[in-house]
Amino acid sequence: MTESGTDIGAHGARLTIDLGAIVANWRMLSARGAADCAAVVKADAYGCGVSRVGPALLEAGCRTFFVAHLSEGVAARGALPEAAIYVLNGLPPGACEPFAAHGLRPVLGSPEELSEWAAFSGGRLPAALHVDTGMNRLGLPVPEALALAGDPRIAACGIDLILSHFVSAEKPADPVNARQIADFGRVRAAYPGLRASLANSSGVFLDGARHDLLRPGYALFGGNPTPEAANPMRPVVRLEAMITQVRNVEAGASAGYNGRWTAPAPSRLATLSLGYADGFPRAISGRGQALVGGVPCPILGLVSMDLIILDVTAAPAARRGATAVLIGDGLDIDTVGRAAGTIGYEILTGLGSRYVRIYVG
Ligand SMILES: *Cc1c(COP(=O)(O)O)cnc(C)c1O
């Protein structure tokens, strides 16, 4: 065993990220319309690492990237010297200088942001305009956006893109989608000549939502953009942890903190060297599964900081040094998210940095 490198024993667990699958997913989404396809790489590319994901997508032909924060934009710029990088959370007070210094484009969403950027840039630097069609979170409300069309401040801000964001794109039957598509269409018509972008991952699968630029994030990383149907995306992340010990217990024995689980019958338990400090959610305690030799094994009791206990009674492959799959082989991020009472997005973006990370493809 080596001390570091790619050795699962030294780190307890291993995260494998398939860059080829991310590129294949981007190509698949791109092919769904005439629109250009960007990549949303906020939160360090949904936990997958913007310094690796960014260049892989650039090489595949992606030219436009979105992050949430200025600091993420600076990190993305380091990996993507020439790409267009938009910062979704907008312009913090007094931040024009670093935006310009790193060639980042703020997504402006309030009169204050527009005024500050206009005064600084005088139309010489590009930016986007965020229109709020229903989230009440970021961006100008539709009436304000319509009223501002043709205002000299728009030209003075160098606006080259208008965008809005869906409330419920993953629920195609929700009537809010049609309302947002209609409202965004009206705003777009008031700003002729600008590129328009509405679709996140799920929005790519909604009719009338694709416009000029797609803005997928989650689906690039293997999340299901169509949760009411089979997942059309290729899986990207695989999380495996090493088994440190296997033991037999009698009926009535308990396992883990607070003895949350009691053996209903004589059982075989395996201890995995991964826990909530690795970003594997404690909320999955007693509800999730891992695969050992392909056999689904229930997670028992409470997830510890560094360890998880599995019932491997039905899994003959369980032994010290063998690995258990926590994400992968059909156990996808959406399933893990559901078992933890959350969404796959939170599982992905919470992926830890303690275990060894391997990039393939
Ligand atoms: C995060 C985000 C996206 C990407 O959404 P996914 O559902 O991950 O595809 C697109 N647009 C905005 C404004 C976002 O905040």
Same domain, 77 and 185: yes
- Quick one: pLDDT at residue 111? 95
Banded pLDDT at 5 (limits 50, 70, 90): low
CB 281 within 8 A of CB 348: no
Which of 198, 246, 247, 199 has its CA nearest to residue 225?
A: 199
Query: Whole-model pTM?
Result: 0.96
With contact defined as beta carbons under 8 Å apart, do 81 and 51 qualify? no
Q: Does any domain span residue 176?
A: yes
Q: Which of 270, 242, 277 is nearest to 256 (CA)?
A: 270
pLDDT at 241 > cutoff 70? yes
Same domain membership, residue 311 and residue 190 = no
- Both 264 and 176 in one domain: the answer is no
CB 278 within 8 A of CB 11: no
State mean pLDDT over 75-101: 97
- DSSP, collapsed to helix, strand or coil, labels residue 346 as helix
How far away, in angstroms, is 299 Cα from ligand 1 center?
32
Question: 91 and 168 in one domain?
Answer: yes
Question: Vertex 21, ends 17 and 22: CA angle to 5°?
Answer: 80
Residue 175 contacts by C-beta under 8 Å, 6 or more apart in sequence? none
38 lines ligand 1 (CB under 6 A): no
Q: What is the CATH number of the domain that holds 334?
A: 2.40.37.10
**Is residue 110 in some structural domain?**
yes
Q: Which of 218, 257, 276, 359 is catalytic?
A: 257
**Same domain assignment for residues 313 and 250:** yes
CATH number at residue 93: 3.20.20.10
Q: Mark whether 54 and 179 lie in a shared domain.
A: yes
Same structural domain, 183 and 89: yes
Confidence of residue 209 (pLDDT cuts 50, 70, 90): very high
Give, for ligand 1, the residue of 200, 211, 345 to mutate: max count of ligand atoms closer than 8 Å to Cβ: 200
- For residue 6, the model assigns a pLDDT of 63
208, 244: one domain? no
**Tokens representing 235?**
């899986």
Q: Is the pLDDT of residue 277 over 70?
A: yes
Domain that holds residue 201: 32-221
Same-domain pairing of 263 and 169: no
Q: Based on the fold, state whether residues 215 and 303 are members of the same structural domain.
A: no
Residues 210 and 251 in one domain: no
Ligand 1 pocket check for 105: Cβ under 6 Å: no
Determine if ligand 1 sits within 6 Å of the CB of residue 91. Answer: no
Q: What is the pLDDT of residues 242-261, one digit of tens each?
A: 999 999 999 999 999 999 99
Same domain, 42 and 143: yes
- 264 has a pLDDT exceeding 80: yes
Confidence of residue 1 (pLDDT cuts 50, 70, 90): very low
Residue owning the nearest CA to atom 13 of ligand 1: 165
- Whether 8 is covered by a domain: the verdict is no
pLDDT tens sequence across 31-84 = 997 889 999 999 999 999 999 999 999 999 999 999 999 999 999 999 999 999
Closest CA to 142 of 150, 151, 134: 134
